[in-house]
Amino acid sequence: MVANKEALAYLPDGADINALSYDKLALWAGTIRQKTGKPRLGFPAGPLGLMHRFFEGFLYPSYTGGVVVPFLSEAAEAMWAQFARLWNSVNPNSTRYDFMQQPLLSGEVWIGWDHVARVRDALRQKAGEFVAFPCRAQGARLHAGGGRARGAKGAPDTNGAMGLIDYLTRPETQIETARNVGFLPVVKAEVPPDTEPGLKPAVAAVERMQSAKDALPALLPTGLGEYAGEFDMVFLDAFKLIVLRGQNPGAVLDSEREVLNRLLIETGAPCWAPDPPKQRRVPGEVAEGQRRSR
């Protein structure tokens, strides 16, 4: 997350920006809206934005400890209800934002979430006006990527694929990638001291996020193939129906669960972290003794 330094004056008393819960974020954004008369929290919820990654990699893991298995659960319903309340302090133009760096630079947004590569220009152009901090929510965080991908298995040229993976995961290649496009290293690689000022705060924020004692690894969806986009739409549709249109979270999740169920059946994809590894379960099922009557 990135914040304009003007927003820091409205932080709740006792709040630690490097350990900010969603409750504190909501209070912070609500205070800014009340004091300035404008909603200045922003998300990339436009057609080309990464809002689905926020739900899959941050919000769901933070509140439920998973993504697919607890898709329909009491924790998920409470999560969506709280996020809908938070949305009252979100700039309504967020549904048109694809990259958060532009609204951050213009001052239309004071606090924003996005991929590092999509806020990099703001940090680069006005490094002294912004702070970068971890996206923290109920003690869970995203750490996507890292290590050897499984994509080489079954490739037409396995040796070539493995060679490419080896090259891309070399520390020097990872550092060069960070410098040029803002994708931070997913292997152990020390970012040089001469790294541009705009990238340094983002690197520090991600390092704090990944090294936290309560960090929860949440991987990108795997095994879905051509259905990956349809998987993302499940979360975006839930967002539109619950947050933007005010529909009942339980009813929406119950309906969208059927889509998830079909995707897992058709693709045969097992769950991925933070859901139980290599376990295929009907989305929305809950453990015995926790089943919710409807």
Residue 136: per-residue pLDDT? 62
Closest CA to 291 of 73, 131, 88: 73
In this prediction the pTM is: 0.80
The tokens for 122 are 């703001």
Greatest mean pLDDT among 131-145, 188-202, 235-249: 235-249
Residue 44: per-residue pLDDT? 98
Phi, psi of 63 (to 5 degrees): -90, -30
* Arithmetic mean of pLDDT over the chain: 83
Q: Are strands 111-112 and 2-4 parallel, antiparallel or unpaired?
A: antiparallel
- What single-letter amino acid sits at 141? R
Higher pLDDT: 220 or 185? It is 220
pLDDT tens-digit series, residues 40-95 = 999 999 999 999 999 999 999 999 999 999 999 999 999 999 999 999 999 999 99
Residue 140: per-residue pLDDT? 34
pLDDT tens-digit series, residues 149-168 = 344 555 677 888 888 888 88
Sorted by where each begins, the domain ranges of the chain are 1-145+196-294
Determine the topology of domain 1-145+196-294 in CATH: D-Maltodextrin-Binding Protein; domain 2 (3.40.190)
Per-residue confidence at 137, pLDDT binned at 50, 70, 90? very low
Mind spelling out the 3-state secondary structure of the chain? CEEEHHHHHHCCCCCCHHHCCHHHHHHHHHHHHHHHCCCCEECCCCCCCCHHHHHHHHHHHHHHCCCCCCCCCHHHHHHHHHHHHHHHHECHHHHHCCCCHHHHHHCCCCEECCCHHHCHHHHHHCHHHEEECCCCECCECCCCCCCCCHHHCCCCCHHHHHHHHHHHCCHHHHHHHHHHHCCCCCCCCCCCCCCCCCCHHHHHHHHHHHHCCCCCCCCCCCCCHHHHHHHHHHHHHHHHHHHHCCCCHHHHHHHHHHHHHHHHHHHCCCCCCCCCCCCCCCCCCCCCCCCCCC
Residue 141: per-residue pLDDT? 36
